A and B are shown apart, each in its own frame.
Chain A
Amino acid sequence: SQQGEEDPQALSIQEGENATMNCSYKTSINNLQWYRQNSGRGLVHLILIRSNEREKHSGRLRVTLDTSKKSSSLLITASRAADTASYFCATVPSGAGSYQLTFGKGTKLSVIP
Protein backbone atom coordinates (compact mmCIF):
# COMPACT_ATOMS: atom_id res chain seq x y z
CA SER A 1 0.00 0.00 0.00
CA GLN A 2 1.11 3.56 -0.59
CA GLN A 3 2.46 5.41 2.42
CA GLY A 4 1.34 8.79 1.28
CA GLU A 5 1.06 11.26 -1.47
CA GLU A 6 3.40 13.47 -3.42
CA ASP A 7 2.24 16.87 -4.46
CA PRO A 8 2.01 17.97 -7.18
CA GLN A 9 1.54 14.90 -9.37
CA ALA A 10 3.13 16.77 -12.27
CA LEU A 11 5.24 19.90 -12.49
CA SER A 12 6.51 21.76 -15.53
CA ILE A 13 9.10 24.51 -15.19
CA GLN A 14 11.65 26.42 -17.25
CA GLU A 15 15.31 25.59 -17.05
CA GLY A 16 16.97 27.63 -14.32
CA GLU A 17 13.88 27.80 -12.12
CA ASN A 18 13.52 26.02 -8.80
CA ALA A 19 11.30 22.96 -8.40
CA THR A 20 9.60 22.05 -5.14
CA MET A 21 7.92 18.73 -4.49
CA ASN A 22 6.08 17.74 -1.35
CA CYS A 23 5.49 14.38 0.26
CA SER A 24 3.18 13.32 3.06
CA TYR A 25 3.26 10.05 4.94
CA LYS A 26 1.14 8.30 7.51
CA THR A 27 3.20 6.39 10.08
CA SER A 28 6.21 6.99 12.31
CA ILE A 29 9.42 6.72 10.40
CA ASN A 30 13.08 5.91 10.88
CA ASN A 31 14.06 7.89 7.81
CA LEU A 32 12.71 9.33 4.58
CA GLN A 33 14.44 9.04 1.23
CA TRP A 34 14.02 10.66 -2.15
CA TYR A 35 14.59 8.83 -5.41
CA ARG A 36 14.62 9.82 -9.09
CA GLN A 37 13.45 7.62 -11.92
CA ASN A 38 14.07 8.32 -15.58
CA SER A 39 11.42 6.96 -17.92
CA GLY A 40 10.79 3.43 -16.64
CA ARG A 41 14.36 2.77 -15.58
CA GLY A 42 15.68 1.95 -12.13
CA LEU A 43 15.47 4.32 -9.19
CA VAL A 44 18.42 6.49 -8.25
CA HIS A 45 18.89 7.37 -4.59
CA LEU A 46 19.15 11.14 -4.12
CA ILE A 47 19.14 11.90 -0.41
CA LEU A 48 18.19 10.41 2.95
CA ILE A 49 16.99 12.36 5.96
CA ARG A 50 16.64 10.77 9.38
CA SER A 51 13.68 11.34 11.67
CA ASN A 52 15.77 13.48 14.04
CA GLU A 53 16.95 15.78 11.24
CA ARG A 54 15.02 18.76 9.94
CA GLU A 55 16.96 19.77 6.85
CA LYS A 56 19.62 18.31 4.61
CA HIS A 57 21.49 19.53 1.55
CA SER A 58 23.23 17.72 -1.28
CA GLY A 59 24.47 19.81 -4.19
CA ARG A 60 21.41 21.48 -5.74
CA LEU A 61 19.04 19.45 -3.56
CA ARG A 62 17.50 20.57 -0.29
CA VAL A 63 15.24 18.31 1.72
CA THR A 64 13.19 19.26 4.75
CA LEU A 65 11.36 16.99 7.14
CA ASP A 66 8.56 17.90 9.54
CA THR A 67 7.73 14.84 11.60
CA SER A 68 4.94 16.63 13.46
CA LYS A 69 3.13 17.16 10.16
CA LYS A 70 4.41 13.90 8.67
CA SER A 71 5.63 15.73 5.60
CA SER A 72 8.78 16.38 3.61
CA SER A 73 9.75 18.60 0.72
CA LEU A 74 12.41 18.32 -1.96
CA LEU A 75 13.75 21.50 -3.54
CA ILE A 76 15.84 21.34 -6.70
CA THR A 77 17.51 24.67 -7.36
CA ALA A 78 18.57 26.01 -10.77
CA SER A 79 16.91 23.12 -12.58
CA ARG A 80 18.35 21.63 -15.76
CA ALA A 81 16.74 19.72 -18.62
CA ALA A 82 18.54 16.62 -17.30
CA ASP A 83 16.46 16.87 -14.09
CA THR A 84 13.40 15.81 -16.08
CA ALA A 85 12.26 12.62 -14.35
CA SER A 86 9.81 11.25 -11.81
CA TYR A 87 10.65 11.85 -8.17
CA PHE A 88 9.51 9.58 -5.37
CA CYS A 89 9.67 9.87 -1.64
CA ALA A 90 9.98 6.67 0.34
CA THR A 91 9.84 6.00 4.05
CA VAL A 92 11.38 3.37 6.27
CA PRO A 93 9.12 2.80 9.27
CA SER A 94 10.43 3.09 12.80
CA GLY A 95 10.67 0.04 15.00
CA ALA A 96 12.69 -3.12 14.82
CA GLY A 97 12.11 -5.55 12.02
CA SER A 98 11.03 -3.03 9.42
CA TYR A 99 13.27 -3.10 6.39
CA GLN A 100 11.04 -2.02 3.57
CA LEU A 101 10.56 1.17 1.63
CA THR A 102 7.04 2.48 1.25
CA PHE A 103 6.76 4.79 -1.71
CA GLY A 104 4.54 7.68 -2.59
CA LYS A 105 2.97 7.98 -6.03
CA GLY A 106 5.62 10.33 -7.33
CA THR A 107 5.90 13.74 -8.96
CA LYS A 108 6.62 13.91 -12.67
CA LEU A 109 8.94 16.85 -13.29
CA SER A 110 9.44 18.33 -16.75
CA VAL A 111 12.18 20.93 -17.17
CA ILE A 112 11.81 22.85 -20.41
CA PRO A 113 15.07 24.05 -22.01
Chain B
Amino acid sequence: KAGVTQTPRYLIKTRGQQVTLSCSPISGHRSVSWYQQTPGQGLQFLFEYFSETQRNKGNFPGRFSGRQFSNSRSEMNVSTLELGDSALYLCASSDVRGNYGYTFGSGTRLTVV
Protein backbone atom coordinates (compact mmCIF):
# COMPACT_ATOMS: atom_id res chain seq x y z
CA LYS B 1 0.00 0.00 0.00
CA ALA B 2 1.64 3.24 -1.13
CA GLY B 3 2.07 5.93 1.50
CA VAL B 4 1.19 9.59 1.38
CA THR B 5 3.10 11.29 -1.41
CA GLN B 6 4.02 14.95 -1.28
CA THR B 7 5.60 16.88 -4.10
CA PRO B 8 7.92 18.59 -4.44
CA ARG B 9 10.25 17.65 -1.57
CA TYR B 10 12.11 20.94 -1.62
CA LEU B 11 11.23 24.36 -2.97
CA ILE B 12 12.93 27.74 -2.96
CA LYS B 13 10.80 30.77 -3.76
CA THR B 14 11.21 34.52 -3.65
CA ARG B 15 9.13 36.84 -1.49
CA GLY B 16 5.94 37.87 -3.25
CA GLN B 17 5.71 34.76 -5.37
CA GLN B 18 3.11 32.07 -4.96
CA VAL B 19 3.54 28.33 -4.54
CA THR B 20 1.44 25.21 -4.93
CA LEU B 21 2.14 22.02 -3.02
CA SER B 22 0.62 18.66 -3.84
CA CYS B 23 -0.43 15.70 -1.72
CA SER B 24 -1.67 12.26 -2.79
CA PRO B 25 -3.26 10.38 0.12
CA ILE B 26 -3.27 6.68 0.81
CA SER B 27 -5.68 4.87 -1.46
CA GLY B 28 -9.12 4.80 0.15
CA HIS B 29 -8.46 7.70 2.51
CA ARG B 30 -10.80 10.57 1.80
CA SER B 31 -9.60 12.98 4.48
CA VAL B 32 -6.51 15.10 3.83
CA SER B 33 -5.06 17.56 6.33
CA TRP B 34 -2.24 20.06 6.03
CA TYR B 35 0.15 21.20 8.74
CA GLN B 36 2.91 23.77 8.91
CA GLN B 37 5.98 23.05 11.03
CA THR B 38 8.42 25.76 12.05
CA PRO B 39 11.04 25.85 14.83
CA GLY B 40 9.26 28.73 16.54
CA GLN B 41 5.59 27.75 16.29
CA GLY B 42 5.89 24.00 16.08
CA LEU B 43 3.24 21.99 14.25
CA GLN B 44 0.18 24.01 13.36
CA PHE B 45 -3.00 22.91 11.61
CA LEU B 46 -3.77 24.62 8.32
CA PHE B 47 -6.91 22.94 6.97
CA GLU B 48 -8.65 19.64 6.42
CA TYR B 49 -10.62 18.38 3.44
CA PHE B 50 -13.04 15.50 3.09
CA SER B 51 -14.78 14.62 -0.15
CA GLU B 52 -13.71 17.90 -1.74
CA THR B 53 -15.14 19.98 1.14
CA GLN B 54 -13.11 21.93 3.66
CA ARG B 55 -14.27 20.78 7.08
CA ASN B 56 -11.85 22.67 9.29
CA LYS B 57 -9.53 25.61 8.92
CA GLY B 58 -6.74 26.73 11.18
CA ASN B 59 -5.79 30.22 12.16
CA PHE B 60 -3.84 31.24 9.09
CA PRO B 61 -4.28 34.26 6.80
CA GLY B 62 -6.26 34.02 3.60
CA ARG B 63 -3.03 33.75 1.62
CA PHE B 64 -3.12 30.08 2.54
CA SER B 65 -5.71 28.11 0.63
CA GLY B 66 -6.32 24.57 -0.44
CA ARG B 67 -8.55 22.29 -2.37
CA GLN B 68 -9.27 18.62 -2.82
CA PHE B 69 -10.05 16.83 -6.03
CA SER B 70 -12.52 14.02 -6.67
CA ASN B 71 -9.70 11.45 -6.46
CA SER B 72 -8.89 12.79 -2.94
CA ARG B 73 -5.60 14.35 -4.04
CA SER B 74 -5.13 17.75 -2.46
CA GLU B 75 -3.21 20.90 -3.18
CA MET B 76 -2.39 23.84 -1.00
CA ASN B 77 -1.48 27.25 -2.29
CA VAL B 78 0.32 30.10 -0.62
CA SER B 79 0.16 33.46 -2.38
CA THR B 80 2.33 36.52 -1.84
CA LEU B 81 4.98 34.57 0.00
CA GLU B 82 6.64 36.05 3.07
CA LEU B 83 9.92 35.07 4.70
CA GLY B 84 7.94 33.70 7.64
CA ASP B 85 6.27 31.14 5.38
CA SER B 86 9.51 29.19 5.26
CA ALA B 87 8.60 25.89 6.86
CA LEU B 88 8.09 22.19 6.46
CA TYR B 89 4.58 21.60 5.11
CA LEU B 90 3.16 18.23 6.00
CA CYS B 91 0.16 16.48 4.56
CA ALA B 92 -1.69 13.71 6.36
CA SER B 93 -4.43 11.36 5.25
CA SER B 94 -6.88 9.35 7.31
CA ASP B 95 -10.25 7.65 7.35
CA VAL B 96 -13.39 9.69 7.91
CA ARG B 97 -12.51 10.91 11.39
CA GLY B 98 -8.94 9.88 11.93
CA ASN B 99 -10.07 7.28 14.43
CA TYR B 100 -7.10 5.09 13.62
CA GLY B 101 -4.46 7.77 13.38
CA TYR B 102 -3.10 9.77 10.52
CA THR B 103 -0.48 8.84 7.94
CA PHE B 104 1.86 11.67 7.11
CA GLY B 105 3.88 12.31 4.00
CA SER B 106 7.57 13.24 4.09
CA GLY B 107 6.73 16.90 3.69
CA THR B 108 7.69 19.76 1.41
CA ARG B 109 10.47 21.98 2.68
CA LEU B 110 9.70 25.52 1.50
CA THR B 111 12.33 28.21 1.75
CA VAL B 112 11.37 31.79 0.97
CA VAL B 113 14.26 34.13 0.18
Interface contacts (Cβ under 8 Å), in number, total 66
Given known contacts A2-B42, A43-B90, A102-B45, A97 and B56 CB-to-CB distance under 8 angstroms: yes
Among B45, B101, B103, point to the contact of A100 (Cβ < 8 A).
B45
Give the interface segment out of B66-74, B78-86, B92-100. Answer: B92-100
- Contact in complex: B98, A42 (CB < 8 Å): no
Flag whether A33 is at the interface (Cβ < 8 A).
Answer: yes
Q: Are the C-beta atoms of B88 and A40 separated by less than 8 Å?
A: yes
Residue in A33, A43, A45, A99 whose beta carbon sits within 8 Å of that of B48 in the complex: A99
Chain A interface extent, by class: 20 to 34
Residue A60 at the B interface, CB < 8 A?
A: no
Whether A1 pairs with B97 at a CB distance below 8 angstroms is: no
Residue of B nearest to A92 (CB): B98
Residue A101, interface by CB 8 Å: yes
Q: Which residues of A contact B101 (CB under 8 A)?
A: 33, 45, 48
Complex Cα distance A66/B96, Å?
26
Tell me whether B56 and A99 are in contact (CB under 8 A).
yes
- B48 CB to closest chain A CB (Å) equals 5
User: In the bound complex, do residue A42 and residue B42 qualify as a contact, i.e. CB atoms below 8 Å apart?
Assistant: no
State whether the Cβ of A25 lies closer than 8 Å to any Cβ in chain B. no
* Residue interface bits A76-108, CB-to-B below 8 A is 1, else 0: 000000000000101010000111111111100
Closest-CB distance, A38 to chain B (whole angstroms): 10
Residue in contact with A43 in the complex, picked from B42, B45, B104, B109, CB distance below 8 Å: B104
Q: Decide: B102 and A99 in contact? CB cutoff 8 A.
A: no
Question: Does the CB pair B104–A99 fall under 8 Å?
Answer: no
A sample of 17 more A-B contacts (CB under 8 A), given A2-B42, A35-B104, A99-B97, is: A1-B44, A31-B99, A42-B104, A42-B107, A44-B104, A45-B103, A97-B55, A97-B56, A99-B31, A99-B98, A100-B56, A101-B35, A101-B43, A101-B98, A103-B35, A104-B42, A106-B42
**B-binding residues in A (CB < 8 A):** 1-2, 30-31, 33, 35, 40-45, 48, 88, 90, 92, 97-106
